[in-house]
Structures are given as C-alpha cells and as structure tokens.
Amino acid sequence: MPSKKHLAGFVAAFSVILGSLAMTTPLYAASSEQVLYAFQGGKSDGLEPLAGVIFDSSGNLYGTTYEGGTHNGGIVFELTPNNGQWTEKVLHNFQPKYGEQPKAGLIMDSAGNLYGTTYYGGAYGYGTVFELTPNNGEWAFKVLHAFINNGKDGLDPTAGLVFDAAGNLYGTTALGGSSNLGTLFKLTLNNGKWIYKVLHSFSGKDDVNQPQAALIFDTAGNLYGTTYGTVFELTPSGGKWTEKVLHKFKHNGYDGYACVASLIFDTAGNLYGTTFYGGADSSCNDFTGCGTVFELIPNNGKWTEKLLHSFHDKGDGAFPLAGLIFDAAGNLYGTTGGGGLTGDGSGVVFELTPHGSNWTETVLYAFSVNGRSDGGGPTAGLIFDKAGNLYSTTEDGGGTNNGVVFEVTP
C-alpha cells in the first residue's frame, strides 16, 4: 500500500475537513507486468514518482518524481524505448527557488511543451506552475506563476493542470484563497506571456474545500472536480464561476468517502471516480472501508450515485488514490495503493466490466508484498498505448525501493 509517510500525509491533510451493489469475489487474469525503469534516487536520478506518465507522439514517456535529483526536489524525466529497452533521461532537476516536489503529473500541448505544478518552492515557497520547452535536445524550464501567501492567491497545488479548447491552463490549489481552503486559477497566454488569475476561492460551504485532484471539462465548458467529501461542478457566467455540489459522500458503511482522484466522463455524460476509504466492506479495519468505484448519473439537473465496486483488501485491492480510464469497449481500469492477493500486498491493477446493471471486477495484476522485483504502491492512474497495454508508476519498489515505471499487458 502507499508508504506510511504518504498515507499519514493524506490522513493528516484531511483530518481538518471533516444503484445496488453486488458483493462478488474478484476475478484474476493472467496479465504480465514489466518494469520499464526502476528509479535509483540520489543526485543523478529521481525517487518516489507519485504521478503517472504520459506519451508523446513518438511513443516516449514523460513523468515526474517527488524527490531525488541534484537538489532532492524531484525531477522531470523522459523514457525512450529502443528494441524493448527503455532509457531514462533527466529533463529537469527541481530546486527550491523555482519550485520543487511535484505531486502531480504532466500535460503536453500540441507543440510538445510540458506543463505541471510543484507543491512547494518557488519565489515564495508555496509552489509553482511551470513549463518545459524542448530545443535541440535540451529543455528550457520556465516558471509561469509562483504562488504567494497574500490572502488571495492559492497555495500548495497538489493537482495537475488541464487545457481548455483555447489553450488556456486551469488548475486548483489545496490551500489559499479568501478562506484558505483552496482556489481555482487560470493562466492565459497573451503575446508570449502567461497571465495568471484566481477565478474562484473555495469557501467550505457544503464541504467543498481543499481540492486535491485535477479538473475536467464537459463539452459546454463547465469544470468538474472532487474534494475529500464531495463531487462539484463549476459553471462560468459573466466572468464568475458558480459552484454546485453534485454529490456529498456519506460515511454510512455503504457510500465511499475521501475522494482524492480526478473524474472521467462516459459518452452518455455520466461521471466516474474512486474514493480512498468507505464502501460496503469493512475488511480494512484500520479505516472504515477499503474504498470504492462510483458512478454519478445526471437526470433533470440532479445527480444520482451508484456504487460499482467496494474493495475488499485481501484477494482484492484497497485504497485507490487515482482516477479511472475507459477502453473502447466501455470497461474501466484503475489502480489501488494497497491490497492484493494476501491482503498485505502493495496494490493492484484492476478492470471493471459492465454486465447489465452490475460490474465485475478482475484483478489484472497484484504487486508483490515487498515490491522489490515489480514495484509497489501505485498512487497514480493508468494510460493505454495503441496496443492496449497499460502504463503507470509505483512510488515504492524496484531494486532500490525508490519506485518504478511499469507496463501491464492484459
């Protein structure tokens, strides 16, 4: 499961915030896992990749690590495939003055530039938004915004960024704003410069505060996100953004709670996500429930929640920190940071397949208990390649226990 350090951090961060379900035995599939790269740590490499990876058009992978590198502030890395082997290149070493310790992953624009956030560092110490631009094999790093503790700006961005159709960047911060409960911000490119603006300060009304995950757009330009206790929508009108709670999680032994992952839409406009705790199975005795996968269905302005799966820990995963992805057939895929074949494992890669109104879970791969051979504790979501293979990271495991980038072939 996630390392004790990061699990304790999630609990501490949230301690101040306060359909039908078929209980089935998970299936297992004979999927193969391959470690593409095991991080070495130290000054020459990163360690603890908390976020996932992305592809460029040539099939190279890009990502971040939370620590390691020249200044121990994390790195941006590239993995290049060649005849079945993957070679790592460090594109940037984070340092306190310009932002450090990224918790979120990267996004890429059509020109091949990379964008992301750092949780700490920058000119004022509260995190940054950055850009990396390729130029003849080298990458130029630029801080687009350094967050400042002035009672208006956001602080400590834990989530990644999202583009709108016009190429503007949007993101959230976990703290800061007028109530110090987080913000929604926008960066607009104008004559070569990025203009930063706080669009919304979260107030804590209806438990909408401290967003941890990246936002998503619908086709109408509305934004959707999660907090520890809610799923929310932000609707633009007249230069302002109106906040609406779509679902408030209930700590009732059935519903999930502690939602720290991003959402996805299906083609019908339904939302899907995960919760870190909660659900109908109390196998995880240290916490009430091992986590869930849920769906939110819109109907005449209201949203109805349906629980698709409650995790069981032993023989299943537990504690999903990341969001989900769809394949072309409508199956869902994700990771859990804990659980596994024995219940004391280091997480799983799972698939959920719809059968009428029910969903069947298949554990595609269960990471080993010590994680030294295959990685352990995946905290990030998955991506597909063109052949249908799955890719992501684990924060622990590998030969030096500093985390890995892996591929699972279903």
Statement: residue 7 has pLDDT above 70: no
Q: Which residues contact 173 (CB under 8 A, 6 or more apart)?
A: 127, 147, 154, 155, 156, 157, 158, 182, 183, 185, 211
Using 50, 70 and 90 to split pLDDT, how confident is the model at 285?
Answer: low
Q: Which of 386, 335, 400 is nearest to 33 (CA)?
A: 335
Mean pLDDT of the chain: 91
Q: Average the pLDDT over 29-57 and give the result.
A: 94
| pLDDT(11) > 80 | no
State pLDDT tens for residues 83-101.
Answer: 989 999 999 999 999 999 9
pLDDT tens digits, one per residue of 17-32: 333 333 445 676 768 9
Over range 326-343, report the average pLDDT: 91
Using one digit for the tens of pLDDT, what is the confidence trace for 251-271?
888 999 999 999 999 999 999
Mean pLDDT within 191-204: 95
Confidence of residue 281 (pLDDT cuts 50, 70, 90): confident
pLDDT exceeds cutoff 60 at 2: no
How many C-beta atoms lie closer than 10 Å to residue 136's C-beta? Answer: 4
Per the model's pLDDT, the better-predicted residue between 403 and 4 turns out to be 403
**Residues 48-55, mean pLDDT to the nearest whole number:** 98
Tell whether pTM > 0.85.
Answer: yes
Enumerate residues 6+ apart whose C-beta is below 8 A from 395: 2, 3, 6, 48, 49, 50, 66, 377, 378, 379, 403
User: Quick check: 387 pLDDT over 80?
Assistant: yes
Say which range, 75-79, 238-242, 378-382, has the weakest mean pLDDT: 238-242
Under the banding of pLDDT at 50, 70 and 90, the label for residue 13 is very low
pLDDT at 286 over 80: no
Q: What is the mean pLDDT of residues 402-406?
A: 97
Q: What is the mean pLDDT of residues 171-177?
A: 98
Token pair for 254: 């059935």
Q: Lowest mean pLDDT: which of 23-27, 124-128, 374-378?
A: 23-27
What is the C-alpha to C-alpha distance for residues 18 and 202, in angstroms, rounded to an integer? 15
At residue 147, does pLDDT exceed 70?
yes
Question: Among 46-50, 135-139, 380-384, which is the least confidently predicted range?
Answer: 135-139
Cβ(159)–Cβ(117) below 8 Å: yes
Output DSSP code: residue 370.
Answer: S
> Is the pLDDT confidence value at 287 over 70?
no
Q: Residue 290 — φ and ψ, nearest 5°? A: -100, 5
Q: Does residue 190 have a pLDDT over 80?
A: yes
- The whole-number average pLDDT for the span 374-381 is 94
